[in-house]
Amino acid sequence: MGPGESGASGRPARSAASTGLIYAICSYGIWGFLPLYFLLLKPTGAFEIVAWRVLFSLVFCGVLIGATRAWRPLVAALRRPRVVWTMGLAGLLIYINWQTFILAALSGHVVETALGYFINPIITVLLGVLVLRERLRSAQWAAVVISFVAVIVLSVGYGTVPWISLILAFSFGFYGLIKKRVGGHLDALSGLTLETMWLAPIAIVQLVVVSLLTGLTFGTVSPVHSLALVGSGVLTAVPLLFFAAASRRLPLTTLGLVQYLAPVLQLIVGVAVLHEPMPPERWLGFGLVWLALIVLTTDMIVHGRAQRRSFITPL
C-alpha cells in the first residue's frame, strides 16, 4: 500500500512520521507523569520501588520476548561478551538515574528532576565533545555556556549545587551515549532485558535490606497497591519501547523537539500539582536553560535543513 492509499476501513493509511510522532508523545508523556505515579505508591519507599521496578521490568521483558518469540536477538547478544558488559554499565547508569529520580519525586523535588531533563540535551552535546571528540558549532558552544551560567544562578538560588538535576542529566547522558554505541547491535527489548538482568541481583539485595530495616510493603497495603508496584515494571519498559519505535520513524530534529515534553510535564506537576516553591532566582535559572535549549534547537533545525539542501543536486 502506497502513501495516501486507504486501508481496509476506507481511512487513509497513517504515515510512518505520524505514527512515530504518536509513539514519541506517548513515550515522553508517560515519563512526564511518572512522578505522580510514584507518589501514589506511598508508603513504599524509593529503594523498594526501584527494586520492584527492576524485577517486574525483567519479568515484563521476558513475557514480551516469549509472546513475540524474539529470543534470537537476545541469545545473539549474550554470545557477545563486549555487548553484555557494556549493557551492564548501561544498567548501572540507569539504576543511578532511577534511584535518584524516585528519591527526588518522593521527597518533594520534582521541579529539580524537570531541570535535570531540561539540561540533558546540553549534557549530550558536551559529552560529544569530551568523549567522542566532536567539534561544536558556535551556537552549540553558546548553549553550553548559557547552561553553565544557569547552573551557577540556580546554585546561588538554592544555596547549593542542584545535585539532583546534574546527577539525572549526566547519568542519562552517559546512558544515551552507551546506547548509541551499541544501538546497531541490539534492539530495545533485548537491551532492556540485559540491563535488568544485570540489575536483578542488586534489586534482590535491596529488597532483603529493606525487609530487615523497615519491612516490605508489597502485599501488605492493598491489592491495588501491589498491582501498582507490578505496574511500575510495565511503565518502565513500555515508554522505552515506544521511544525505540519513534526513533526509527522520526527525524532526529523532530525527536529532539518532542523530548522537551517530559520535563515540561514534570515542571507542571511539581509547580501546579505538588506546589513546590518557584522563587524568582529559580525562574531565572530555568529561563536561562530554556534560552540555551532554544539556541540549541534552532541551530539543530538550521543545520539539518542545510545538510538536506547539500544532498540536492541540480538536474
Count other C-beta atoms under 10 Å from residue 277's C-beta: 9
Vertex 143: Cα angle to 141 and 146 (nearest 5): 110
**pLDDT score at 241:** 82
Nearest to 199 by CA among 56, 308, 44, 15: 56
Report yes or no: 173 and 90 within 8 Å, Cβ to Cβ: no
**pLDDT score at 4:** 46
Residues of the chain scoring pLDDT < 70? 1-14, 183-184, 252-253, 256, 304-315
Nearest to 200 by CA among 47, 75, 54: 54
State in Å, rounded, how far the first CA of the chain is from the last one: 29
DSSP structure class, residue 272: I
Backbone torsion region of residue 308, taken as left when φ is above 0, otherwise alpha when ψ lies between -120 and 50, otherwise beta: alpha
What letter represents residue 170's amino acid? F
Q: Where are the domains of the chain?
A: 19-300
d(CA 213, CA 227): 23
d(CA 82, CA 258): 32
**pLDDT score at 56:** 94
Q: Tell whether the torsion through CA atoms of 271, 102, 34 and 300 is positive or negative.
A: positive
| This prediction's pTM | 0.83
Count other C-beta atoms under 10 Å from residue 253's C-beta: 15
**pLDDT score at 253:** 60
Q: Tell whether the torsion through CA atoms of 243, 182, 116 and 218 is positive or negative.
A: positive
Vertex 198: Cα angle to 51 and 78 (nearest 5): 145
What letter represents residue 310's amino acid? S
| DSSP-derived 3-state class of residue 12 | strand
pLDDT tens for 77-102 read 899 898 899 999 999 999 999 999 99
Q: Which three cell numbers stand for residue 109?
A: 523535588
